[in-house]
Amino acid sequence: MTATASPVTRPPVQARSGGFLSRALSFLFTQEVILFLVLVVLIVLVGSANPRYVAERNFINILNGNAYIAVAAIGMSMVIISRNIDISIGSLIGVLGTLSGTIAINGYPIWASWLVPIVAGALVGAVIGFLVAYLRIPAIVVTLGLLSILKGGLITITGGAWITDLPSDYFLAQMKSPAFSFLGLNVPEIPSPILLMIILTILAAIWMRYSTTGRAIYAVGGNAEAARLSGISEKRIIMTVFIINGITAGIAAVLWATQLSIIQSTVPAGLELQIITSAVVGGVSILGGIGTTVGAMLAAILLSAINSALVFINISPYWFRAVVGVLILVTVLADRLRRQRNRASERG
Amino acid sequence: MTTIRQMDEQNPGAKFRRFLLRQEIILFIILTIAIILLTLGSDKFLTVDNLLNQGRLLTEIALVALPMTFIIVTGGIDLSVGSIMGLCAILLGYMWNPSGPFQWPLELAVIFSLVVGTLCGVINGLIIVRIGVPPLITTLATLALYRGLAEGISQARSVRNYPESFYVLGQGTFLGVPTQLWVVLIFVLITAIVLSRTVFGRSLYAIGNNELGARFSGIPVGVYKIIIYGFSGFMSGMAAWIFVSRVTTTRSDMGSGLELDAIAAVVLGGTSIFGGSGSIIGTVIGFVLIQLLKNGLALAGVTTDGTIVVIGTVLIFAILINNYIQRRVSAGK
């Protein structure tokens, strides 16, 4: 596919005409705005029940500790938008994080321990993409097999041993960016995971909305046949999507590995569920096709805020997963209703 | 179909060749090769005791993989089976627990957990059919929800010390064969007959091939789907019952990852993940192969985690080989 193919893949998003009011209304009902409002309501409610919840320190901790989930959700959003799925992502992050730590303690330069996992992630993504796009094995089967391979392989090789004695300049996730200070602005320093999360999310959102390839992902997910007829190479798009997913998984893995002074060399339990949930709740439509990465980031933040809130309002954290389940169901239901109404209003 | 039959009459060799290239036959050959290799790897492998014991261990996956075959044949998927199993196990223990809030008789607790399991499956079906949410997302949500309920209700506390009679199902034998293997056998026969010999079963293929077409030809697609998801929930409850009886305790993390093993068995058995084709025999070979690999490799000194790697690799390669052969077959026609 060449860049000149762009005119056929213009936004399937609301190019709907209408007055300012109706446009304002449809903006209000976008998934991102709803998520943001839910997040605000949650913070206000829990904060008024327990003021310690809204302490700046707690909030920075929530954001910081979960930024890697939001970063991984960027790639996952694209995968789901293209009507695929990657259930091996949790295992991949575990493997790449361990790889990063192993490189760091073996005396290689620190930048290598940050870069190699990202490259390795891209390679794994390319393999998945190849199997899905060219050998026509469904993504769920490929990633199901890969999940076993990565998970089992990791424990077989490491024996579950923790990685300790990491060099002191390894901890990317504990660093703070002297953000904006070069502009002479008096803005507090932002921890690097949060900064990375925000920058990557915005870049991805812009890329998906305005680039030819970005639009093509929506086209492939929305209607693969139509996309093919309009000159989009479905195979290439699927490869691209899985490679990007591997790259964001690599970045997420580095953030995860550099958080604490040890790396546990295991696969974080239930991580794939949190990442997929973020992508789905964030407005990635259940049928593929529509979705944004900004929503996925907000959803990831909302999930971790809920997780933390349970502790502050004295609800056992064992209920967390039930809340996650309800949240996905509610999102999906709301999405259905909204679409039915849209269809009804289009009919007049 | 008739044209193929006519071709076969003219050329018996082609018929034989197509028979050989059926997924089940290929799998059976792979299974035989695996058994030979594993027998060479350890002399403890091919013994009656060991094989019967493996039968015990594959029960939970088997029970869940059977309805999973129905579901995948219709083009659906059920990721929530492991969580339903966990929830049923917890409820069984929670309702019975003599020092707990309910203290029900054990029989009642078992029936209750089976009812809840079925209900969980029916809820999946209702969301999929009535609201039109894709099965993957629906059961992903309920995977989290049901597991969350299991964790929330149990608060991660286990229940033990069941009466001795309760262990017959999971640890006893009947006519020299582990009790639960009879249960598996009965359900294999029932599901095999239902899928291949009844209008209901044939309709599932029709739904998987062309849902709209199935609807137009008068098949109650919605009702059938709700039935199979409900059946899947029920079988997850059965798996929970047998599992608790075998391991003598309940924990909320029971059945984690069961959905992956079950799906692997079904897909390995030649059921297309896109729906429309597949068989119970294939699934049976699938879960037997997985269990024998696990056991044989363990006996040959490979760690559990190493075994998982092998199973993942086998899964991908089995699908690759099958795709390749099926393409050759259809090109040859």
Answer yes or no: do B313 and A142 touch at CB < 8 A: no
Q: Are B151 and A325 in contact (CB < 8 Å)?
A: no
Residues belonging to chain A: 348
Q: Average pLDDT for consecutive 10-residue bins of chain A (348 residues)?
A: 37 52 67 84 89 83 90 94 92 94 91 94 97 91 91 86 84 71 62 90 90 89 83 92 97 92 81 89 63 86 90 86 88 78 66
Q: Count CA atoms closer than 13 A to B139's CA, side-chain side.
A: 24
Q: Is A2 domain-assigned?
A: no
Q: Which residues of A touch B305 (CB under 8 A)?
A: 151-156
| Assigned token pair, B251 | 């924990």
What is the predicted pLDDT for the residue at B82? Answer: 94
A321 and B145: CB-CB below 8 Å? yes
| Cβ separation B144–A142 shorter than 8 A | no
Q: Which of B140, B305, B323 lies closest to A135 in CB terms?
A: B323
Model pLDDT, residue A1: 35
How far is residue B33 from each of residues B20, B46, B149, B180, measured CA to CA in Å? 16, 13, 43, 27
The C-alpha of A66 sits at a distance from chain B's nearest C-alpha, in angstroms, of 19
- Retrieve residue A336's tokens: 């259905």
For chain B positions 132-151, those within 8 Å of chain A (CB to CB) are: 132-134, 136-138, 140-149, 151
Q: Residue A142: enclosing H or E segment and its boundaries?
A: helix A139-158
Q: What is the 3-state secondary structure (H, E, C) of chain B?
A: CHHHHHHHHHCHHHHHHHHHCCHHHHHHHHHHHHHHHHHHHCCCCCCHHHHHHHHHHHHHHHHHHHHHHHHHHCCCCCCCHHHHHHHHHHHHHHHHCCCCCCCCCHHHHHHHHHHHHHHHHHHHHHHHHHHCCCHHHHHHHHHHHHHHHHHHHHCCCCECCCCHHHHHHHHCEECCEEHHHHHHHHHHHHHHHHHHHCHHHHHHHHHHHCHHHHHHCCCCHHHHHHHHHHHHHHHHHHHHHHHHHHHCCECCCCCCCHHHHHHHHHHHCCCCCCCCCCCHHHHHHHHHHHHHHHHHHHHCCCCHHHHHHHHHHHHHHHHHHHHHHHHHHHHHC
Q: Does residue A3 sit within a domain?
A: no
What φ, ψ does residue A177 adopt, rounded to 5°? -90, 140
Contacts of B320 in chain A (CB under 8 A): 135, 137
**CB hemisphere CA count around A208 (13 angstroms):** 29
A315 touches chain B (CB under 8 A): no
Residue B211, domain member (yes or no): yes
Q: How many CB pairs under 8 A join A and B?
A: 133
d(CA A202, CA A214): 13
Residue B263 domain-assigned (yes or no):
no
* Residue B81, domain member (yes or no): yes
Domain residues for A132? 19-175+183-347
Taking the CA of residue A326 and the nearest CA in chain B, the distance in Å comes to: 6
CB contact under 8 A, A328 and B305: no
Selection from B228, B230, B226 nearest residue B116 by Cα: B230
> What pLDDT does A266 receive?
78
A326 touches chain B (CB under 8 A): yes
Could you tell me if residue A309 is inside a domain?
yes
pTM for the full predicted model? 0.86
Domain CATH number, residue A319: 1.10.3470
Is A2 at the interface with chain B, CB within 8 A? Answer: no
In order, the DSSP letters of A95-141 are HHHHHHHHHHHTT--HHHHHHHHHHHHHHHHHHHHHHHHTS---HHH
Counting as low any pLDDT under 70, the low residues of chain B are 1-21, 331-333
Closest CA to B221 of B113, B75, B16, B321: B75
A75 in a structural domain: yes
What pLDDT is recorded for position B275? 87
**Residue B321 in contact with partner chain A when CB distance is under 8 A:** no
Side-chain-side CA neighbours of B50 within 13 Å: the count stands at: 17
Provide the residue range defining the domain that includes B69.
57-256+271-278
Q: How far does chain B reach from its first CA to its final CA, in angstroms?
A: 12
Model ipTM value = 0.82
B152 to chain A: which residues are within 8 Å by CB? Answer: 316, 318-319, 322
- Helix, strand or coil for residue A176? strand
Judged on CB neighbours under 10 Å (0-12, 13-18, 19+), A2 is exposed
Domain count, chain A: 1
**Considering the domain boundaries, does residue B206 fall inside one?**
yes
What is the total count of domains within chain B? 1
